[in-house]
Structure 1
Amino acid sequence: PSWAKQSHNGVKGAAQRAETLLNQMEELSSKYNIVELRPNVFSYTAVINAWANCRERGIGAPMKAEALLRRMEKLYVETEDDRVKPDVVAYSTVINAWAKSREGGAPERAEAILHRLEHAYEQTNDVHLQPNVVTYTTVISAYANSNEPDAPLMAEAILEHMEALYKSGEVWEGAKPRTASYNAVIDSWARASHTIEEAAQRAEDILERMEKLHNANDDADVEPNTRSYSEVIFAWSKSRAKGVALKALKM
């Protein structure tokens, strides 16, 4: 629906209008048995995306996006209609809605959706439900962008979870961390409320991990970039510890 696109442009009420139209599609298709009007996974995901991109504050946009996902899940269980079966895009879009939110507990809600997706994938082995690097990195970013004290630890835990899944076999190939995944964790440590030296060292540890992985296999997927080094330098720049300036120059 075009109203779904308008939400991304900041048009007030666009996401709600998109959902109203979705509801009308459901009602009309049910009342008159018009198959062509029946919403499908693309219809629902478009409205979820509208809520994810909604810039209006105080209206519970992420919760409304998640409610639509639950509606899809319920509808699929009741009808077994593959046309409304949520896929990785639907789940990832809800995760993105929470990642953009400043609401308390938003990163945890994003991670909970991720675990629901993982469970669905494990139960069905459906490739359309396989979490990918964007899904995981969005959850990491949700923690990185939050002000929660344990955010860097939680972000790093997701990264380690990705690494473990990828090493476990081809079935989790989509979980392979990329440069953006590591950078998101480095960002989280660079802005952490932990002691400056501890946070900077943890950020540098992640950078060194990237360098080792890249050098061991000449793997371009994990090659550190300008942002990787800049964030570690930023982390150390906040420290007054002896030798910090030299450490930053060596990077």
Structure 2
Amino acid sequence: MAPQLPPIDLHAHINPKTRPADLERLGAVVFAATRSLGEYESVTSRRDQVTIWGVGCHPGVAQAQREFDVERFSSLLASTAFVSEIGLDRRSKAPLDEQERVFASILDVLQGTPRIASIHSSGVPGRVLDALERTPIRGAVLHWWRGDAAQTRRAVELGCWFSINAAGMKYPADVALIPLDRILNETDHPSGDRTSAFPRQPGAVDDVDQALAEVFKIDARGVRGQIWTNLVGLVDETGVSGLLPAAVQRMIAFARTNGAN
């Protein structure tokens, strides 16, 4: 299966003015995170073939946190399969209690309207898990996860998924604690791929595939196939297939039919 299906990048930041044709030339299925509701609104008229834009409210962007409106978020949710970037950040200029209120309100909406949700937890992995335990959702993906062993076990028990980038692969023993069937890959371009091989661009996850292959003692082709199987599981868990671009829907159908091998 792997040769027919492109790389998956579950979390990258892309200039909203980038032309769809330029993104198609990346040769990957890319989930593009936005930092604010306004940024997401600027892309809603796009018709990308292989890029999925997420509606987000980045915890590190104080203005986005202050201006967040849950009704506006709920309305925008109807137009996308993806929510990103959301969560909590200890270093943010936005007060943590304000971040937690915003995150809780987003989780309340997602509990009733599931989406693939890419969640930031920098410096506060335990608080993010507390929020997910209070308000369980389907499709929670812990992006660039750096929790300790006990927190990772707890996240797995809560049903979370994990997206891993090149920076995260500097800690292979930590990655090995995560079941391979709960892992997707990401670049978090332009931050999480600073240690990647060239080209450093959205969708360039070959080095992550190779590093995961070394951790889990399989070949990189097997990793690519498993990542696609995992994406199928994530799409099915959240029921968002119909919100994906038609080309990505066809890839999902192919992966579902052909399995990971």
Report the TM-score, using the length of structure 1 for normalisation.
Answer: 0.34
Tell which has more relative contact order, 1 or 2 (C-alpha 8 A, sep 6+). 2
Larger helix share, 1 or 2 = 1
Query: Which entry has the higher C-alpha Rg, 1 or 2?
Result: 1
